[in-house]
Amino acid sequence: MAGHLAAAGYSLRAWNRSDKRRGEWADAHSGKADVAGSIAEAASGADIVIVCVGNDEDLAQVVLEADGALAHMAEGTLLIDHTTTSAAMARSVADEADARGIGFVDAPVSGGQAGAENGKLAIMCGGSVEDFARAEPVMQSYAARIVHVGDVGAGQTAKMANQMCIAGTLAGLSEAVRLSQASGMDTGKVFQAISGGAAQSWQMDNRWATMAGGEFDFGFAIAWMRKDLGYALDEAKRLGLSSPVSALVDQFYADIQAMGGTRQDTSALIRRLPKGNETL
């Protein structure tokens, strides 16, 4: 994402918590952007600060702590957060930013590693109309779709809905692939037959063949999906909702973690289903 900003011509200072990744990024984008040695160096003097880390705790550390990004941002600047967090955390950051006269947009992304690398992310945004208007042109550097869905926290709630949809889709897709395999059919032809109809989805188009082939190294790890589903289930509970399918799939992912699949991508859900009889 930072690479796309550099390519778009923005004056950029990039920082990563990992020295190794920071160095690799600097080598890959030599001459196109500066690399900061600290949060303070990255945030000081910036008109817009963009953050993408792991979870609530990570965001609090890099943004809210005494030497975090907000402490080094000037009044009138803007913070864009692409981390998938709880809606409560988004509101907490917004409150602290507002107290300092800093704008804030919670803007979690969907599209995975490939979407980030190709500049084709989908971004769901929460915040004021004014803050979103400032953020949108910058985010267009690495996004295919950007939607302002409501006030602060709404972006995170939309991302929760996104993850619930993915979880349910992958559960059904796993069963469909295993049914095809156990029946002795050519899974490629089954895909051809059903992907043009109502069953079609991004997950089917991009993961059917790899799931059938036992390939599970496509960027978005199960550990992150369980974190996201946890936020979604907590928010549903807060709203008095029942989410039995999401809760069940979350437990299915726990099974995959117990099998050593924590770092495999979310399509590894199929691993918990035996292949059965390959031929009838």
| CA angle 87–67–223, rounded 5-degree value | 45
Q: Are 48 and 133 in contact (CB under 8 A)?
A: no
State the Cα–Cα distance between residues 259 and 272, nearest whole angstrom.
9
Cα–Cα dist 276/61, whole Å: 47
Distance CA 45, CA 29 (A): 21
Q: Which of 20, 120, 159, 227 is catalytic?
A: 159
227 is an active site residue: no
Contacts of 174 (CB under 8 A, 6+ apart): 211, 267, 269, 270, 272, 273
Strands 143-150 and 121-126: parallel
Cα(40)–Cα(173) distance, rounded to whole angstroms? 45
Which sequence positions are flagged as catalytic? 159
